[in-house]
Structure 1
Amino acid sequence: MTAAPPQIPSDGTPVATEPTAQSVSHVSGKENVRGGALDFLRFLASLLIVVYHYGAESPMRIERFAQVFSRGFLATDFFLILSGYVLGRAYGASTLSGRLSTPQFWVRRAARVWPGHLAVLAMLAMLVVALNAIGTDAHKPSRFAWDQLIPQAFLVHAWGFPSDGWNLPSWSLSALIVCYALFPSFWRAVSKIRHAWLLPLLGLVILAAFEVLAETVFDQGLADLRFQFGVVRALPLFILGVCLARTVDMRWPSEGAAHALLWGGVALLVITQPLDRYALPDPLLFDAPSLLAIAMIVLGAGRLPVKRPQRWIEEGAKLSFALFITHIFVGVIYWSAVHKLIDTVPIGIGWQWLMWLAGFPLAYGGAWLFHRYIDQPLQDRIQPLLRRSS
């Protein structure tokens, strides 16, 4: 689930793949606790990404009803921050102690992301070939240029290589490959800071510096950068997540303050969402408080132990990675059929809305099938091999 000029969607990604957002140790001593606040937010953000992408297929642009439906880029920001946070909490200690070497960490992260990505990309390629063979085109065929397939397969298309088609949200995976490579260095650097309260400030200062860099070099804000420059956008958000993880490792703030941060962040995010980002004198007037609110939420929710884990939240969060990389594939099949039907048969606006709503359970169903029968079996084969090699 995705930035560029205003007319081009900015994808989001449930990038904090295994381990999940709340599968790391909490300060209360509970291990592997899932189904809490961060997993719930991850589930909601993945839903927002699908709504954002599928919104273009609705009978009417849904952002007319509420500005929140145009906030897919905030879901991206949340997942990029969460990815840094989760990896810091899950792998920070083993990185410092040497139990997990830097090459081992790189291989584990690549093995978690690349097989599923390649599987979906292959499915998309076969689908486009099949549609062309029967004399029709995929929905929005200009998105499937064959010369862009190779950069996407190697996950380098956010490193300056233009690629705005195929599995569009995968730009964030490409950017995160760089973040993963640098994570051990980031963690060792933030671990040298002895005052916990400095770490969130450091993360926000780095984010501000990258914002200035983007404005100076690209004449655009971070959230509006084209997909091919995704590394520039992802790095400061990932670093902010790493800083927040180290802050929680140092047991700061107190649980009382964490509650205040969590709900204060939620309130700030709710207050800012009705604003029209492009009607403001500078989009940064919307972006800055929104990112601050997200950082407050991640820090507050991450610091609090999960007291009442919910199984449905855990399962929803587990599906977020599969949903992220498969919903475009499901959408190509479904929306190609829907728009062909609408062009052929007169269909009332009410039925068109019902057909649009049906796309969401189909997207989740496709994600579940992919997770159950493709991604999880691949990981069940790959991970034991990695453990033995370690």
Structure 2
Amino acid sequence: MGPGSERAPRSALLDLLRFAAAGLIVLYHYRFDSPIKLDLFSPLFDRGYLATDFFLILSGYVLGRAYGRQIALGKVSDEQFLLRRVMRVWPAHVVMLVAFAAVIGAAEMAGRAPHNAAQVQWRDWPAQLALIQAWGLHRGEGWNVPTWTLSALIVCYAGFPTLWRRTLGDWPAASLLVIGVSVLAGADLVSEALYGQGVFDLPSNLGVMRALPLFVFGALVARASEAGWPLRRWAPWQAIAAFAGFCVLQATGKFDLPSMALLGVLIGAAGEVPARGRSGLADRAAKVSFALYITHVFVATLWFNFIHAVDARFNPPAWEQWSLWGMAFPAALIAAVVFERWADRPLQAGVAALLRPRPGRYPALAPNGSGRRH
């Protein structure tokens, strides 16, 4: 497999970055319900979508590191790979969406429409359940908003094995990175031509077009890692430089394409930072990240409806409003920890048992080719 064949696909730093990105996405979505819109303080609060793009790049990278060798050696078929990936996200998604429907349905029966009623239209629910809301088939968006990325990633998963096999060979790492950035730039130009806006600004119902180039970029970063980039001794410094450059760009203005390029470098470099022993905290944070991603909007629906009711009845002073708003973040984290432990983990155990290869119905043939059925 080349110089990177013995590199570890897991990184404690990458796990912590994943958790930090999930936290930024929570802030990005909760900013709408703050007592004063956070965008008024700084335009940075309006760029939380970059954390979602980080996840999309990370998805391509992690799958390349975790599954690339198996796919290259033919140890897992394209169908098996797609089934595993879909079953990793769909069961938990269904649980959350059913919980959403139960809460919204109960509220409507009680005559209390949620304050974000425009985001929970019943006509959009079936597409979300099937995870096809990002395929450009309809304009509706809402309910568990972040799951548009899961919808788009299903398409990415379907194409990943072919992409990985096509990039096998003695590609220089620099060439792979340049190709990856070129894919992002090309997608941005196509999006501007077709929709009059950059690919990173596309609405969620066009999520496949937004996610696919980012996912491909992440996979190519993983291929560059397999080709020997970056050297372990330089990885921490490259990660620091990429993160610093990203922060400088955000403080300067809206520069999405170079920001994505730096996120790819950050992910590739962080993936090679050696861990000093096993980090239980980082591993736990990575597991909770997915739960936080798919539960925080549900928590927001409950919490902020409560806050709006309190505001309407008691008109509390500003400091109490900010306190109530701030409590949504620990509430979201607690809900994510509970969901990961008591919902997602048991669901995945059941999926693993369901997908586990079963012994053959009939005994193996004897060396001479004979064998009797029982």
Matched, 1:344 2:313: yes
Matched, 1:171 2:148: yes
Deviation (angstroms), 1:94: 0.3
Q: Is the 8 A contact 1:57 1:335 kept in 2?
A: yes
Q: Which amino acid aligns with 1:111?
A: M
Tell me the equivalent position of 1:369: 338
Q: Is the 8 A contact 1:155 1:171 kept in 2?
A: yes
Tell me the equivalent position of 1:71: 47
Tell me the equivalent position of 2:97: 121
1:314 to 283, 298, 316: 283
* 1:114-193 correspondence to structure 2 within 5 Å: 114-160=90-136, 161-193=138-170
Separation in 1 of the partners of 2:183 and 2:5? 30
Deviation (angstroms), 1:252: 1.9
CA 1:256/1:361 → structure 2, altered by over 3 Å: closer, same or farther?
A: same
What stretches of structure 1 move > 6 A for 4+ residues in a row? Answer: none
Matched, 1:37 2:13: yes
Identity %: 39
Tell me the equivalent position of 2:239: 262
Q: Is the 8 A contact 1:27 1:303 kept in 2?
A: no
Larger Rg: 1 or 2?
Answer: 2
Q: What do residues 37-86 of structure 1 show as CA deviations (whole Å, max 9, x unaligned)?
A: 11111111100000111111111112333433222210011000000000
Which is worse superposed, 61-70 or 126-135?
61-70
Gaps of 5+ in 2: 360-374
SS in structure 1 at match of 2:327? helix
Q: Which amino acid aligns with 2:226?
A: D
RMSD over aligned CA atoms reads 1.8
Q: Is the 8 A contact 2:107 2:113 kept in 1?
A: yes
Separation in 2 of the partners of 1:302 and 1:313? 13
Matched, 1:97 2:73: yes
Separation in 2 of the partners of 1:384 and 1:183? 24
Separation in 2 of the partners of 1:141 and 1:111? 30
Q: Is the 8 A contact 1:268 1:289 kept in 2?
A: no
Deviation (angstroms), 1:195: 1.8
Matched, 1:296 2:265: yes
Q: Is the 8 A contact 1:106 1:180 kept in 2?
A: yes
Deviation (angstroms), 1:272: 1.2
CA 1:350/1:162 → structure 2, altered by over 3 Å: closer, same or farther?
A: same
Separation in 2 of the partners of 1:54 and 1:301? 28
Tell me the equivalent position of 1:8: none
Give the number of equivalent residue pairs.
356
Tell me the equivalent position of 2:203: 226
Q: Is the 8 A contact 1:42 1:79 kept in 2?
A: yes
Gaps of 5+ in 1: 1-25, 278-285
Q: Is the 8 A contact 1:172 1:234 kept in 2?
A: yes
Deviation (angstroms), 1:223: 1.4
Separation in 2 of the partners of 1:32 and 1:238? 17
Q: TM-score normalized by structure 1?
A: 0.87
Q: Is the 8 A contact 2:156 2:212 kept in 1?
A: yes
Tell me the equivalent position of 1:208: 185
Separation in 1 of the partners of 2:97 and 2:168? 38
